[in-house]
């Protein structure tokens, strides 16, 4: 049976600690792989799953820029390409196709660390024409995924931004962000940083299947408590909201986050661009076969009859009765819990320290 887009395998396979189960071809490949049962049964070694491979790279640029009207930032930095967390719903999975790799297992096992990220950033901030705007850390990968403990690429980026008093926002699912409180807390006093912790559900079993290598939900709430205690403005991102799977958890997540000191909140409806739609349907067939058809039917109702709607203004929130219901639930819960009273935390870009011109001496 073909393992390409949209085709489920005959015998569902699961790898412990991995979100995807195989490597379906990416949209740029001209050939498709074919898997079949040779009669010998499952390969015991294969069931253990592939190991994580990390390649140190020398990036050519470090700040990505966008002009999308439905994204609240224009600049972002991704310390890594690929993400070991293995979230099956991750909208960044299709980006691995640009590397000639699969958005499936390759995305969560073949990772690239930008070894020269801090040096590139320092050079970029020193350009005469650089315009200071908030930089989002980890828009296309989690900056605190497990390999950050060893490679410390994110740490190096934060050190450069702290030196220059540059505003930044962080989104993560990891408790490792607490390691950098020594940098983040002083920046917060200057109005330079806020941190969002993504919590889509408090159901540990569901989380383990959706996000196999992330920090447990209850521990993420503890991260919010630690951030708040350190004086760092923090929020919770309820994402993605998946119909008939975790949508019931929105109020409980918001309530628990507010109790731990979160002052901001956001949410996003599940979106399935490019190859992601096939990976997600395959995941549903493996983990929730009885719900799969119902879930996908509701997703199509939110996307104008399709499985993905890339239009600005619709791709994040969807449309239709279900999407409108989520918006109302979120708004009412935030009002009741006192979240987003001041809107999103406004960060200070006026403190930015531009590099001194060459040949110019310091006054003191």
Q: In this predicted structure, what is the pLDDT of residue 3? A: 42
- In the prediction, which pLDDT does 2 show? 39
pLDDT score for 363: 53
What average pLDDT is seen over the chain?
88
Q: Which CATH architecture has domain 50-337?
A: Alpha-Beta Horseshoe (3.80)
Torsion angle in degrees (nearest 10) through CA of 123, 119, 168, 140: 110
Q: What is the pLDDT of residue 41?
A: 45
What is the pLDDT confidence band of residue 46, given thresholds at 50, 70 and 90? very low
Please tell me the predicted confidence (pLDDT) of residue 315. 74
Per residue in 65-97, is it b (16+ CB within 10 Å) or e — as a string? eeeeeeeeebbbbbbbbbbbbbbbbbbbbbbbb
Which pTM was predicted?
0.87
Tell me, what's the pLDDT at 360?
Answer: 54
Contact 81, 111 (CB under 8 A): yes
pLDDT range class, residue 74, cuts 50, 70, 90: very high
Whether residue 47 is predicted with pLDDT greater than 80 in this model: the reply is no
Summarised one tens digit per residue, pLDDT across range 275-299 is: 999 999 999 999 999 999 999 999 9
Say yes or no to pLDDT of 7 above 50.
Answer: no
Between 135-139, 149-153, 163-167, 181-185, the lowest mean confidence (pLDDT) is in 135-139
For tokens 């700040």, name the residue. Answer: 63
- The mean pLDDT value for 24-36 works out to 58
Domain ranges of the chain: 50-337
Count of beta carbons in the 10 Å neighbourhood of residue 9: 17
């Amino acid at each position: 049976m073909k393992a390409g887009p949209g085709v489920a395998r005959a015998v569902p396979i699961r790898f412990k600690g991995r979100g995807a189960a195989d490597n379906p071809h990416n949209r740029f490949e001209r050939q498709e792989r074919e898997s079949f049962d040779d009669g010998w049964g499952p390969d015991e070694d294969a069931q253990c799953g592939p190991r994580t491979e990390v390649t140190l790279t020398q990036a050519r640029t470090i700040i990505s820029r966008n002009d999308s009207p439905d994204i609240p930032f224009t600049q972002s930095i991704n310390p890594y390409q690929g993400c070991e967390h293995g979230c099956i719903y991750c909208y960044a999975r299709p980006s691995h196709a640009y590397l000639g790799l699969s958005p499936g297992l390759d995305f969560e096992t073949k990772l690239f660390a930008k070894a020269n990220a801090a040096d590139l950033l320092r050079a970029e901030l020193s350009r005469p024409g650089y315009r200071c705007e908030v930089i989002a850390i980890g828009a296309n990968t989690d900056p605190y995924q497990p390999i950050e403990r060893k490679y410390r690429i994110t740490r190096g980026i934060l050190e450069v931004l702290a030196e220059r008093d540059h505003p930044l926002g962080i989104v993560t699912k990891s408790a490792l962000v607490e390691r950098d409180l020594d940098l983040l807390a002083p920046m917060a006093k200057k109005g330079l940083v806020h941190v969002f912790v993504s919590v889509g559900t408090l159901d540990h079993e569901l989380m383990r299947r959706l996000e196999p290598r992330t920090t447990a939900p209850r521990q993420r709430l503890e991260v919010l408590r630690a951030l708040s205690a350190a004086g760092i403005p923090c929020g919770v991102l309820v994402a993605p909201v998946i119909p008939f799977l975790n949508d019931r958890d929105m109020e409980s997540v918001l309530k628990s986050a507010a109790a731990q000191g979160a002052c901001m909140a956001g949410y996003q409806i599940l979106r399935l661009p490019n190859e992601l739609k096939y990976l997600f349907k395959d995941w549903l067939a493996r983990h929730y076969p009885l719900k799969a058809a119902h879930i996908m039917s509701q997703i199509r109702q939110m996307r104008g009859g399709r499985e993905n709607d890339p239009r600005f203004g619709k791709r994040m929130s969807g449309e239709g009765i279900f999407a409108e219901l989520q918006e109302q639930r979120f708004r009412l819960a935030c009002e009741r819990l006192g979240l987003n009273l001041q809107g999103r935390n406004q960060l200070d870009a006026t403190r930015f320290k531009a590099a001194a011109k060459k040949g110019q001496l310091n006054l003191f």
